Amino acid sequence: MTGLRAPRSLRRRLVLGVTVLATLAVLAAELIGFLVLRSWLLDGVDQRLADFRPTPASAFLDTRRPHRPEPEALPSDFRVYFYDASGNRLPEKLGTDDKPGPQLPDSIDRLPTEGSPTSVAADTGDGNWRVLRRDGPRDLTAVIALPLDTVDGATSKILWLNGLLLIITVVTVWVLGREVVRLSLLPLTRMERSAEAITAGQLDLRLPDTDPRTEIGRLGTVLNTMLDRLQQALHERETSETRLRRFVADAGHELRTPLTAIQGFGQLALRSDRRTTKERQEADRHIVQNAERMSLLVDDLQLLAQLDRHPDYQQEHVDLLSLAADAVSAAALQRPDHAVSLSPPT
């Protein structure tokens, strides 16, 4: 898919948006100013046409009279053309011929009604004229004309000036807008650098801009809160893993003792049957006791695997003499050649 793509950078988008808005605003202001100026200049020309009263008044008489006024009798650039009672244009006119005159129709019917000025093109060239139809004496119709050179010249200069002003405005807004946007987005730049440092491993670092009166400050506050919760979750996870590793180590140590005892009594049972009934009962009791102990440890491990929580240790009174006697019995079975005794400490 082809076409213009919007810039991805936020700074460029803001600068482009501000530049486009400023350009549209300047264009609208220039267009309104141009229309108002041209309308004001045309109103001035129309007022001059409406106030025009040729002197002498005989200028509106039949131009075929031998004593009609000279063309120079008209002021400025005024020109007067005549139509007879039938509506046909007469060849006579009043005014100088130093420039091309207006392009008037041969029939009066193609002209606007009396009192309504209109613009027409010149006979030759690119000029324009403003003409006004008025009734004259003896069934004649006069058309008064004024050139629009002043109006066209002023509007042309205004157009060039507006174009130059538009270019200067666009360039200025683009250059200054980039700097203003850069300064306005400095908090975001600092937040970006802080985020990069946090990603690199500085987990205790926090975003500097937390002003609640600004959007960026509120965003920084929310992100700092999120980082605190994430760090707390990581700390809890590390603590849980540490507890789990410690518990697994303790469970391995606890399992080793009953396994050793069961293994010893099992080997003793396989070795010979020259044991008394009391010795067999004692060995069987140790095997069952250590098997139950192993079963409890395995149940705890399975429960931890299902719940993933820290084990709840309970403190109870323990008969140390019984534990010591069991340890001596297990050691004596594994090393029958070594004398093992149980006595109070000296």
Nearest to 132 by CA among 66, 230, 13, 52: 52
Between CA 279 and CA 257 the distance in angstroms is 20
pLDDT in tens, 284-340: 777 777 777 778 777 777 776 666 555 556 677 777 777 677 677 666 666 666 677
Is 320 or 41 the better-scoring residue by pLDDT?
41
Q: Is the pTM of this model over 0.75?
A: no
* Predicted local confidence at residue 57, as pLDDT: 44
β-pair type (141-147, 79-83): antiparallel
Residue 94: exposure state from Cβ atoms within 10 A (0-12, 13-18, ≥19)? buried
Q: Are 269 and 209 in contact (CB under 8 A)?
A: no
Which of 153-162, 208-217, 334-343 has the lowest average pLDDT? 334-343
Q: Which residues pair with residue 142 across a beta bridge?
A: 82, 134
pLDDT given for residue 51 in this prediction: 82
- For the chain, give every domain's residue range: 10-45+154-184, 64-149, 187-311+324-335
What φ, ψ does residue 344 adopt, rounded to 5°?
-70, 155
According to DSSP, the residues that pair with 128 across neighbouring strands are 121
Predicted local distance difference test score (pLDDT) of residue 187? 78
What is the CATH T-level fold of the domain 64-149, as seen in this structure? Beta-Lactamase (3.30.450)
Q: What's residue 334's pLDDT?
A: 60
Q: DSSP letter for 70, please.
A: P
CA distance 168 to 256: 87
**Of the candidate ranges 64-68, 184-188, 225-229, the one whose mean pLDDT is the lowest:** 64-68
| For the ranges 131-140, 172-181, 203-212, 264-273, the one whose mean pLDDT is highest | 172-181
Residue 2 has pLDDT above 50, yes or no: no
Can you read off the two tokens belonging to residue 30?
A: 């220039």
- The band of 32, judged by pLDDT with boundaries at 50, 70 and 90, is very high
Q: Compute the distance between CA of residue 81 and CA of residue 61 in angstroms, rounded to an integer.
A: 12
- Residue 290: CB atoms within 10 A of its CB come to 22
Average pLDDT of the residues of the chain? 76
